[in-house]
Structure 1
């Protein structure tokens, strides 16, 4: 794990940002206080309706069943599930046991899931038999001691008598490993402690308006923010949980009108897809009072459009590694909320390197990566995290992201590693060199755009031919480039590296 100055630890403890409370403690106290709060899953496949108390009983029976199978503090429990009740049960059960939970995005494919399971060597893996393109593949978890498949044998893991209390574990120790696509071909395992995750839960909850309403959560719970919004903040606040296992704008609008649910932001795509849907009417705006945007690029055209409809927009900036770095409150001046990524949040610190890269640190900054080499590259001895993003800070201390050093495209909140896509493109017989960058997207924030240089005497592939190839090699569909350009030569640095900054700027000029 990363090195951290002793005085920084003392400050976090003295300020109350780091406590002795574990995630299991946080959940247990919240569930005792609000056992009758509503918990619903809106799904065509596996709908469910009950209360926090009902889910807690399943979670505690699961915890007892896993405890009987030798699972306890520090053991790794992984799950790959859609936004279903069982995902909450696995997460809460892991916390009660003091185990390290590993949520996996439900649409990750065989390659990603296999890599993650190999990297964390879980004692337990819970998944679904089938959901959409996802299908349980038994050979991937053949070495996992305890496997449960929802819809098949998950209930066999439940003990008759629920676990009582919370097993003791070190609050400074790992509580969560969240995997996110990186600049290389493999996902990055980001390790959070009980202290960093607990602080982030309180920090993010503090950004939300008190009158935000009954939220619909469609962001996958395998994502860090989806997980926090679905399984931690509502328990802390005693607010209802409404999950959707797919994002269907028409269904969301129906739930707004029928059940009074609200959609309060996330990636910009969630808001724009509602506005652009044929079933949208001005009546729905009453359930879209706020739009807290982050997790992907936020085009000014989107924030302006939302504001003109009377929606209060506020933006934030962070990552899986450091979830809440800056953010605008919903009460901040409109020009700041619409056109910057906010000012520094309590406990967080930022500074800009000579090249404009944003360096950050704070009580919710992760412990490091499962890969020590990544940890060594990303953190310095004083506890600063190299974000890979370029930004500017205005006279009022508000940060604006202007570019990204890291090779990541954030499409609708999902990270896409450019290198993985480039390597797949290089398997095309006509392609000599490939570069993939982020392009602005009015709905999704960003999408992948591919630039290729051809081998002599070869014809350029069409966009459809490129997509057919990527489908054949098994690249997940959300990673497919949505633009394809052919260049005779790439812009390069003096050392010969492709200047992706120039490619991104060219796209931006073309889009404007």
Structure 2
């Protein structure tokens, strides 16, 4: 990390970070979207005017403001306007509907709710009214505006809870995760430090800004003073023109994004997909080693992968100067200040400034931390002699077959080596004789040949997989079920579909 970035990283609040960056490089761009350019100086000025407009509507320090907005320049401006006031923000993924949105509004007790109006054919304003939301206002093409002279001084303390993020709620109601300005700055600093970026880089946001990755990434822009291209709707190959037009040097998002870029690259092998691209980076889901090798070999750029969650936006991150082995098989190293404890059974536990303050529900908070204040993640792994973290799966993804523990990730990584497998998810399904049986669910690339259970098990045995770990059920699907943020595979849906209730016939 440069001296300037290190100094900026000591900012107490996000607004202080904005002001310090704007004073250093006011005319440099920070956000690019189609033909629009927002500079660091303009971000400060527009956010402060928006803050004044919000203040005029009754938003005060500590007021809870929920917002469900797409990845747009206006969304970032609104978010920093709320940070200027010292309001409590509750970002909601724009693809969520009545159940999740209603839950977030009720649990957070939001006094205001910013929506995009009709977006992608869905009327968010009508949904907000249907849910009885308070203080509904649209913030898409225009934002509240006012004279900054009416504003009180900006918040001076960055350790109070000012953010409520929501977990995906894949198996139950979402959890409201409590963050501070300092925990978000610490997470973004980890990302920035690991990637060795410079003021000459051009980043990209292809994920929802309302995801925890939004501030993670924006903090990095503020620390290093470089811009990022925002994608309101991301799809390939349509988005490629914007990557090329703006000369993006750093792209990514998650493993699913790497696979999408690879699929496009394979349409024109030998011709670099994005000429300016030098680095793919991301996290949010396991990365099979073969994906790393394929990106480097076929796309001609480096790939660094990290480990984070809503509760801890950045835990570890691969660095471009790591060894090939570490980049392919680990999640990178933690920054200074992030403590990793491997508990009994290999469970990963965390303590540090980037860790959340807990949950809205005090009972959930009490169950989330151990007696020494370490967050219990539910992930399983180990730390290598070089300090790199290796994740081997989730505790709930450990399949127990006839008393033997089987790692779903080990099988998934080997399945990615098969030429007729595009992506794979392995789950354990209840079985009266074995306790659980191993079920492999695979997605195939275009032009792939047919797959059979016998063929897959023969391939896995050829890769050295132990016989007791071989899948006993194979399901081929057109597309694996994924969430709308970082395209993470939703394994609970596979268990529901192929478990006792779904009762699919083994292939």
TM range (shorter): 0.7 to 0.9
1:195-210 map, 5 Å: 195-210=182-197
2:70 to 69, 82, 86: 82
Q: Which residue of the partner structure matches residue 149 of structure 1?
A: 138
Hey, what does 1:290 align to over in structure 2? 279
Give distance in 2, aligned partners of 1:18 and 1:39. Answer: 17
**Aligned pairs (5 A) from 1:247-258:** 247-258=234-245
**Is 1:395–2:385 an aligned residue pair?**
yes
In structure 2, C-alpha distance between the alignment counterparts of 1:316 and 1:195, rounded to whole Å: 20
Corresponding position of 1:170: 157
Any conservation in 2 of the 1:121–1:144 contact (CA below 8 Å)? no
> How many residues get paired?
425
1:130 aligns with 2:156: no
**Aligned-residue offset at 1:441:** 6.5
Deviation, 1:303, is 0.8
Counterpart-to-counterpart distance in 1, 2:438 and 2:98: 23
Q: Does 1:331 align with 2:318?
A: no
Q: CA deviation at 1:35?
A: 2.3
For CA contacts below 8 A with separation 6 or more, give which structure has more relative contact order. Answer: 1
Deviations 1:392-445 (A, max 9, x none): 2333332211111257999xxxxxxxxxxx9xxxxxxxxxxx9999967699xx
1:86 is displaced (CA, Å) by 1.4
Corresponding residue for 1:386? 376
Cα distance in 2 for residues equivalent to 1:36 and 1:478: 41
1:274 matched residue in structure 2: 261
**Would the alpha carbon gap of residues 281 and 481 (structure 1) be closer, same or farther in structure 2, given more than 3 Å must change?**
farther
1:93 has 2:81 as partner? yes
1:384-463 correspondence runs (5 A): 384-406=374-396
Distance 1:114 1:379 in 2: 28
Give the aligned partner of residue 120 of structure 1.
108
User: Hey, what's the Cα distance between the residues in 1 that align with 2:8 and 2:246?
Assistant: 37
Structure 1 equivalent of residue 419 of structure 2:
none
Structure 1 length normalisation: TM-score? 0.73
**Corresponding residue of 2:202:** 214
Q: TM-score, normalised by structure 2?
A: 0.73
Q: 1:356 maps to which residue?
A: 346
Give me the CA root mean square deviation: 3.9
Q: Is the 8 A contact 2:188 2:314 kept in 1?
A: no
Match of 2:174 among 170, 187, 191: 187
Output the CA distance in 1 between the equivalents of 2:48 and 2:9: 26
Q: Is the 8 A contact 1:253 1:274 kept in 2?
A: no
Residues 159, 181 of structure 2: 8 Å contact kept? yes
Unaligned runs of 5+ in 1: 1-14, 411-421, 423-433, 444-461, 468-475, 491-506
1:378, distance to aligned residue in structure 2 (A): 1.0
* 1:167-187, Cα deviation, whole Å (9 max, x unpaired): 235322012111121354211
Match of 2:458 in 1: none
Partners of 2:439 and 2:206 in 1: how far apart?
27
- Structure-2 residue corresponding to 1:7: none
Shift of 1:281: 5.9
Q: For the Cα contact (< 8 Å) 2:206–2:253, is it kept in 1?
A: no
Matched, 1:299 2:299: no
- Taking a change above 3 Å as real, the CA distance of residues 42 and 139 of structure 1, as seen in their structure-2 partners, is closer
